[in-house]
Structure 1
Amino acid sequence: MPPDAGRAAERVARQSYGKLIAFLAARSRDVPAAEDALSEALASALRVWPERGVPDKPEAWLLVAARRNLMQAARHRTVAANAQTTITVAFEEAEERMNEAGKAIFPDERLKLLFACTHPAIDSSVHTALMLQTVLGIEAKTIARAFVISPEAMSQRLVRAKVKIRDAGIPFAVPPRPALPERLAAVLSAIYAAYGLGWDGLDGEEERHSLAGEAIWLGRALLAVLPDEPEAIGLLSLMLHCEARRSARRDCNGRYVPLDEQDTAAWNAIMIAEADALLRKAGGFNRFGSFQCQAAIQSVHAARRLSGTTDWQALTTLYAALITMKPALGARVAEAAAIGRALSAAAGLERLDRLDPRDTAAYQPYWAVRAFLLARAGDDAAAVDAYMTAIGLSDSPAVRDFLADRLKEARQATPG
Structure 2
Amino acid sequence: MNERLQQLYRSESRPVLATLIRLLGDFDLAEEALHEAFTAALQQWPERGEPDNPRAWLVSTGRFKAIDQLRRRARFDASREELVRQLEDQLDEEEEPSEIEDDRLRLIFTCCHPSLAPEARIALTLREVCGLTTEEIARAFLVGTPTLAQRIVRAKTKIRDAGIPYEVPGREQIAERLNGVLHVLYLVFNEGYAASSGERLIRHDLAREAIRLTRLLQQLLPEPEVLGLLSLMLLQDSRRDARVAAGGDLVLLEDQDRSLWHQEQIREGCDGVLRALASQRFGPYTLQAAIAAVHAEAPSAQETDWAQIVGLYDALLAMQPSPVVALNRAVAVAMHEGPAHGLALVDELLEQKPMAAFHLAHATRAELCRRLGRADEARAAYRRALELATQDAERRFLQRRLDELGTAP
- Which range, TM-score by smaller chain? 0.7 to 0.9
Give, in whole Å, the separation in 2 of the partners of 1:287 and 1:125: 29
- Contact residue 128 and residue 189 of structure 1 kept, 8 A: no
Tell whether the 8 Å contact from 1:245 to 1:268 is kept in structure 2 after alignment.
yes
CA distance in 2, matches of 1:68, 1:203: 45
1:344 equivalent in structure 2:
338
Q: Distance in 2 between matches of 1:20 and 1:405?
A: 50
> Counterpart of 1:305 in 2: which secondary structure?
coil
For 1:72-110, what per-residue CA distance to the aligned partner results, in whole angstroms no more than 9, with x for missing partners?
653325445453245468799999x9xxxxxxxx96944
Indicate the residue corresponding to 1:102 in structure 2.
none
Asked if 1:292 is matched to 2:286, the reply is yes
Counterpart for residue 200 of structure 1 = 194
In structure 2, the residue matched to 1:215 is: 210
Look up the equivalent residue of 1:368 and give its one-letter code.
Answer: A
Aligned pair partner of 1:277 in 252, 271, 282: 271
Alignment of 1:363-402 (within 5 A): 363-402=358-397
Change (3 A) 1:131 1:313: same
C-alpha spacing 1:162/1:329, structure 2 compared with 1 (3 Å): farther
**Which residue of the partner structure matches residue 255 of structure 2?**
261
- What amino acid is the match of 1:388? R
Q: 1:212 to 1:69 in 2, by over 3 A?
A: farther
Partners in 1 of 2:135 and 2:322 — Cα distance?
25
* CA shift for structure 1 position 19: 5.3
Q: Report deviation, 1:159.
A: 3.5
> What's the TM-score once normalised by structure 2's chain length?
0.76
Return the alpha-carbon distance in structure 1 between the equivalents of residues 306 and 157 of structure 2. 48
Deviation at 1:235, TM superposition (A): 0.7
**8 Å contact kept, 1:128–1:190:** yes
Q: Provide the residue aligned with 1:26 in structure 2.
A: 22
The answer (yes or no) to whether the contact 2:227–2:276 under 8 Å persists in 1 is yes
Amino acid at match of 1:375: R
Identity %: 36
**Aligned: 1:334 with 2:361:** no
Shift of 1:215: 1.4
> Aligned Cα RMSD in Å?
4.3
| SS of equivalent to 2:279 | coil
Equivalent-residue separation in structure 2 for 1:344 and 1:225 (angstroms)? 45
C-alpha contact (below 8 Å) 2:359/2:388 kept by paired residues: yes
Does the aligned pair in 2 maintain the 1:17–1:136 contact within 8 Å? no
Displacement, 1:234?
0.6
Question: Aligned equivalents of 1:181 and 1:81: distance in 2?
Answer: 39
Distance, in Å, in 1 between the alignment partners of 2:270 and 2:181 is 22
Structure 1, unpaired ranges of 5+: 50-55, 98-105
Partner residue, 1:226: 221
Normalised to the residue count of structure 1, the TM-score between the two structures is 0.75
Q: Structure 1 residue 154: deviation in Å?
A: 6.6
**Deviation readout 1:381-411 (Å, 9 max, x if unpaired):** 2222322333343343333222222111122
Superposed displacement of residue 186, structure 1: 0.8
> Which string of whole-angstrom CA distances, capped at 9 and with x for unpartnered residues, describes residues 23-82 of structure 1?
43232222244457779999x9xxx99xxxxxx9xx999999976874465332544545
Inter-CA distance 181–306: structure 2 relative to 1 (3 Å threshold): same
Cα distance in 1 for partners of 2:13, 2:232 equals 26
